[in-house]
Amino acid sequence: MSARGVAASLSTAVGGLALAVGAGTTLARLLPGVPGVAPDTWAMVTSFTDAGALAYLVALLGLGGAVLLRHHRARLAAGVLALVLATVHLTWLVPGWVADDRPAAGTGRLTVLAQNMLFGGADPGALVAAAADADVLVLTEVTEPARLALEAAGIGERFPHEAGDGSLPRSGPSGTHVYSRFPLSAEGPLDARIGDHHWRADVAVPGLGAVTVVAVHPQRPVRGGDDWAGEQEQVRRALPRTRAVIAGDFNAVDAHPTMRRLRADGFRDSDDLVGAGWNPTYPAQGLVPPLIAIDHVLVTDDLTATDFGTVDLPGTDHRGVLATVALRG
């Protein structure tokens, strides 16, 4: 076989393998589950379906190169199939890179920072500094020692109001707490039936009025388990539908059916509204860079977002998400 033929065969093999991977991610996003695979395990697998876009890029390059090197009907057909599937896949991803025509009204703004503290391990001084421009700070996996460390770091100077479980755990992932620059009212668990690690409070925002902030932290999917989707659905049903900001560690990516149902209910992700693109938040510790976006700031249909960004802190495996919201024009 000539060098051209060898190159064409190698390019075909690489492109074909990438096409198979890409097609698998597209199919996985469409399927609610697979017989014989536990629901939580399926949720973990489908957390990475967005990566199919990269697989399709490799497939198109490989198969396109193979066709140019040595034209063959099968290679051309595979290239066309890759292009069609890539187009389908991109229709799910591209809108996140394009800002919505959803203008803000009035002058009132509310900036929310949501941060998972990794069992209370996030650096308190760095967290206080990161929240310097926020109006509300939503903390998940916060512990009582972490709360005391935050007090010592001066969090009360920026946030004189707080809400959350009065008996935060000494350790573990279940603690949720909300700090605010503005007065809070009507605070309490989102729904007592699903535990006090989902917390809500009304925030009196100057120029904006009362906005309900809900701190959420549904359990993560566990290999072989089946409880993840159930709690996600319980949280969804309990959420307020007007003038509300839902922030925290959702343990879910936009591709999950649970997040798609929230969008169908009218909730929108702040990064999607401003066209901020892909902003992975986990894991944010160690040698592996963040791979999936499971931390979110959602708003109801009567609100919009004007800014979005992420925050890196030492001591935690989550990036924080920082969003500014306003009334929808």
Report the C-alpha gap between 207 and 34 in whole angstroms: 49
**Position with higher pLDDT, 7 vs 282:** 282
**Position with higher pLDDT, 288 vs 318:** 318
Going 33 to 37 to 40 to 41, the CA torsion angle's sign is: negative
Domain final residue pick, 97, 118, 138 = 97
Q: How many residues are recorded in the chain?
A: 329
**Residue ranges making up the domain that contains 274:** 104-328
Residues 50 and 157 in one domain: no
pLDDT digits (tens, 9 = 90+) for 42-71: 999 999 999 999 999 999 999 988 888 777
Residues 80 and 175 in one domain: no
Residues 9 and 86 in one domain: yes
Is residue 236 scored above 90 in pLDDT? Answer: yes
Residues 286 and 307 in one domain: yes
Residues 6+ apart with CB under 8 A from 182: 135, 136, 161, 203, 204, 205, 206
Report the C-alpha gap between 99 and 271 in whole angstroms: 9
Domain final residue pick, 55, 76, 97 = 97
pLDDT of residue 1: 63
Report the C-alpha gap between 287 and 39 in whole angstroms: 29
Is residue 289 scored above 70 in pLDDT? Answer: yes
Assign residue 185 the CATH number of its domain.
3.60.10.10
Residues 29 and 121 in one domain: no
- This prediction has a pTM of 0.93
Q: How many CB atoms lie within 10 A of CB 132?
A: 8
Shortest CA distance to 182 belongs to which of 108, 240, 247?
Answer: 108
pLDDT digits (tens, 9 = 90+) for 198-214: 999 999 999 999 999 99
Is residue 196 scored above 80 in pLDDT? Answer: no
Residues 86 and 219 in one domain: no
pLDDT of residue 126: 98
pLDDT of residue 165: 67
Residues 120 and 159 in one domain: yes
Domain final residue pick, 71, 97, 123 = 97
Residues 143 and 158 in one domain: yes
Contact yes or no for 216/246 (Cβ under 8 A): yes
Residues 164 and 298 in one domain: yes
Residues 321 and 289 in one domain: yes
Structure tokens given for 27: 């199919």
Residues 114 and 57 in one domain: no
The total of structural domains in the chain comes to: 2
Residues 58 and 109 in one domain: no
pLDDT of residue 142: 96
